[in-house]
Amino acid sequence: MALMHIPLEGLTEAHLNGVIAADAAESMYIEYKRETYGGKDADRREFLGDVSSFANTRGGDLLIGVEASNGIPAALSPFQGDHDAELLRLDNMARTALEPRIPNLQMRAVPIAAGGSVLVIRAARSFRLPHRVIFGGLNRFYARSAAGKYEPNVDELRALFVAAPELADRMRGFRFDRAATIAARDAPVPLQSDCCLMLHVVPFSHFDLSPALSMDCVVQRRLYLPPPGTTHAHQSRPNFDGYLSLSNPNDAGQYRAYMQVFRAGAIEGADSSIIRRDGIVDIRELDLSIVRDTRVYAQLLHDCGAEPPYTVMASVLGVREHKLAAFNSTTYSFHGQLADREQLHLAETVIEKVPADDTECASALRPMLDQLANAAGRVASVSFDAKGDWQPG
């Protein structure tokens, strides 16, 4: 039993007691410490080794304030000091003594009713592998197995170095396979047009043998799984790949948009209503859809236990010979150009946390939005002002 499927801010004393009641032994994904790490060099090296071993493998939680016997949790032993100061101390150690820095390292103090707190340090599986400990003249790498952290041998270390490029290749392979499937009119449902926006938000855990996404959580949120361009699903249902939400069909049984949640963790959105009546594809509307839906899908993944980082991939399919241009309610600007290819695959972007709002999301996705503008003959995205502020209207 692990806790990675529960968002860190949602962890409670009840969850911690549940781990104890289940005799959840230390594993690849969880480790217990009765007391926090001391200030001696050996203590610091132990902390750095523990944290980096999670990041270098499949991610996991370090629980400080849980007494364990032979790896089996026995009771809570809450930290009684200033938990904010302690978490800051640990965070500073991780930031200054690990190379490269672990992205999305999360820390939280879970309050205990009887007093004190349990400190939870969550290190997601990293995409900047491998991380090494460089504190006090040490230059070591650590990985993790069911028995705890260990120093990998030469072959395992080589595998760590090639893991990140392999993961990127698998992400692109997934994207292009899905694009080919939709282009062949083999999407989960018939679409109204061959020209569509395809958006993927994919947690790195999608390619693990045991993905972290909770399908039960997805089903519970079935009314809030919006296909692109909507705020809620008209209909939703399980399917072979996971769970599917849909817009209204037309009289021919074709759908404007769908959202597919894959049981392995990825989310796919497709919108086939991106062509205006005059045949123009409005890149400003595409910007808005990409940003808004990325934020919504990232939040859903996080809420259902698939933690960041996420790869965001947007593509415009079936667009050859359609004009790409910009339009808004005050400026009828159709300056643009015809797409010179059938599919536009915008640059992949990695986001290390769930964006707080559309503005933060747009800033993270700016490179792909600029590339979309380039396809329309513009230097930069039309959805940002001269200061670089998000202005989608």
pLDDT at 212: 64
pLDDT at 182: 96
Close Cβ partners of 18 (under 8 Å, ≥ 6 residues apart): 1
Q: Please, are residues 339 and 298 in contact by the beta-carbon 8 Å criterion?
A: no
* Identity of the residue numbered 277: R
Structure tokens at 366: 């700016």
The helix (H) or strand (E) run that includes residue 315 is strand 310-317
* Identity of the residue numbered 223: L
Cβ burial of 252 (10 Å; 0-12, 13-18, 19+) is exposed
Q: Please, are residues 47 and 121 in contact by the beta-carbon 8 Å criterion?
A: no
Predicted structure pTM score: 0.74
At 15 the three-state DSSP class reads helix
- For the chain of 393 residues, list the mean pLDDT of each consecutive stretch of 10: 78 93 90 93 92 90 94 94 95 91 90 95 84 83 87 81 78 94 95 96 79 79 81 87 92 94 93 89 94 94 85 95 77 74 94 91 95 92 90 79
The helix (H) or strand (E) run that includes residue 93 is helix 83-97
266 phi, psi to nearest 5 deg: -75, 155
179 phi, psi to nearest 5 deg: -65, -40
Task: Find, among 7, 18, 16, the residue nearest to 213 by Cα.
Answer: 7
Task: Find, among 217, 381, 353, the residue nearest to 287 by Cα.
Answer: 381
pLDDT at 13: 94
Structure tokens at 237: 């249902």
What are the distances in angstroms from CA 247 to CA 225, 250, 253, 256?
11, 10, 11, 6
Close Cβ partners of 326 (under 8 Å, ≥ 6 residues apart): 282, 283, 284, 333, 334, 335, 336, 373, 376, 378, 382
pLDDT at 76: 94
Q: Delineate the domains of the chain, giving CATH numbers in brackets.
A: 8-152 (3.30.950.30), 164-375 (no CATH)
pLDDT at 334: 61
387 phi, psi to nearest 5 deg: -85, -5
Q: Please, are residues 285 and 274 in contact by the beta-carbon 8 Å criterion?
A: yes
How many H helices and E strands in the chain?
A: 8, 22
Distance of CA 375 to the CA centre of its chain: 27
pLDDT at 332: 54
Beta strands in 44-142 (DSSP E): 60-64, 66-69, 72-76, 98-99, 105-111, 117-123, 132-133, 140-141
pLDDT at 304: 87
Close Cβ partners of 305 (under 8 Å, ≥ 6 residues apart): 4, 5, 6, 7, 212, 213, 214, 217
Report DSSP letters for 178-213, one per residue. Answer: HHHHHHTT-SSS-BS-S-EEEEEEEEGGGGSSS---
What are the distances in angstroms from CA 221 to CA 224, 226, 236, 242, 303?
5, 10, 10, 14, 10
pLDDT at 211: 62
